[in-house]
Structure 1
């Protein structure tokens, strides 16, 4: 990051009011040069004023040394230079003082007032000096030369340092402003990167949840039916070999379907993770996280999923496993968006899976209603029989089925309700907007 503001203040360490040692050395050198100049000019001033030469030299050294505080008190330096202008000394101090004053952060009215005072003082002193030189015969020119020389000298001693100081001050302020903007931009970029990383982590978590839900929907139903069929196969293996063979074939079909769906899903995940590996190596970690989550989300959306037309097959599989289940459809049958049909199918599938797990042998009713602006589904099972031939299946439950159904429906803006019925059964209801 750039070093401005507090960082710059902490990084710069110089004596007293100087930010850096080189600034102190420069000001000390300028003050020494100004003191030497004023000391030599003090000799002439002492001769003109009729005072001891030593007093004039000391006065010049003290006046010229004021330049050392030009960075801390530029107004004082300019006022001292204006004060000693009638003594015809302190020209270097006046030039440097005006430059420092113009480059400072002082209000423009103060800078303009002091610059005007310096200009007027220099103009008067030069006017008097040139007239004295012409009166003494040192200059033999016309009367026009007095105002010309006075104005030219006054402007030449005042305008250049003033304009240069204004330019340097404006440039310094511009550079500081650019540095501050760069710092602000870098902080904003860092904040955006942190937020992007948080969003990427959130997206990865959402995608993990979604993939887990898909895996649960794919595996739980198929495996539940396989376990039910295996239990039935065990019960009838000796009594009815022909039926046992049929059940074994159904178990094989269920296993192959489950493996096929798992391969398809894992293949989608592998293709989303393996492509463009070298190109993504040069991308920042946050961008990779966001891109990976987005790619996985698109892959799941684009993967071939079940639809409402597959409900009859689904119910037929449950019926083949020994469940007494019927399907009733209300309203005009029409097609919906793939995500809506897949969610509706998964709700019915998970509800039937729960019946296999917790109410084996119970009669189940599946109702599907096509309405104007929504699609509704309901799966309700009656109380299970006290003695069931499938009870030995002992299907485990992870407790995530109802949660997954509610998440799916809520993500589409729908309503999901589940709970026991008064008759002792269980009901799962969901309504999903058609748009």
Structure 2
């Protein structure tokens, strides 16, 4: 894994202005979502029973109503709900802060990994991601997962050519020890970064450098194990979480064509949910086009910088592995940490198409995707009622996605036969915490 390639020159003023406008729009949309003070969702109500009136550092009791969250997140939230304001507003301050912070991280992150012309597209993709906007105002650690992944990838690569400085390595070492206490899936990103550090240190300093990098990874592992043990002690001993997320433990290696097809569809679905990548053409064409562009982007990034491709792809590979081992679900809001991987590969692919064809091809592709996302934002922010009620589909998602679309099509045309009547609409979400999801 070679050293970091030369960082391209700073973007021209027009690109810089596009980035600044995108950041401003993304921040405004997240603040707008928070300011509506929508009603608490049942997941939030369930989690609040473990926050309100509970000692800040109480980890001696199981969490109620089948909830689970990182210990550090619980501590911060227990402090926030003590503020003299409506508990829904105070409890959403941390997710909001992370949602806003993500908009300030995306441009420097993109500039370190992808083509210069792709960075503004990455900013706007994130700004107009409706799932990320919604979860920026929900009392859950999902946007913490997003920011933790972005920060880890940022710290892994120095802003200028050459080897990371000792100061940056110390910052990464401290961050890797602290981050797992606030985000579970950041561990999967750290795994890739740790391997990259060891390989890079081996190339630069030999066995001695690799040993130092491995020691940093060992400290991360010790910290994670402490967090894991505490989290396991406070999670409910019922099997509800494992039963609810059974569909999201991927059948790898596949034992049938159906297993392989489901895995491929689930991997592609991340573009739709939770990355909120959309076009005007519907879920299936969007997923096919986005997947093709991401593959092109992976090839482009790999030719230019294999180490960067490893860092970007490693979180996806580790997520798939732990899902196959039935240790962490691979679906929806639980994998917001994969959004940087999907967005970076997608925009790199758009830029690569522009280099091979004409620059206008990159612009056309960007407009297709951003137009689809902008339409989704307009519908959810200005057409839908401001309570943003969630349909609570069979996967407990914010709204239907590629998997729901494919399931529906298979139901109305079984085995290639004639169309049959569509199934009745799903019942509305039950009131209160009767059905709970983590």
Normalising by structure 1, report the TM-score: 0.25
In our comparison, the structure showing a higher alpha carbon Rg is 1
Structure with the higher fraction of residues in strand conformation: 1
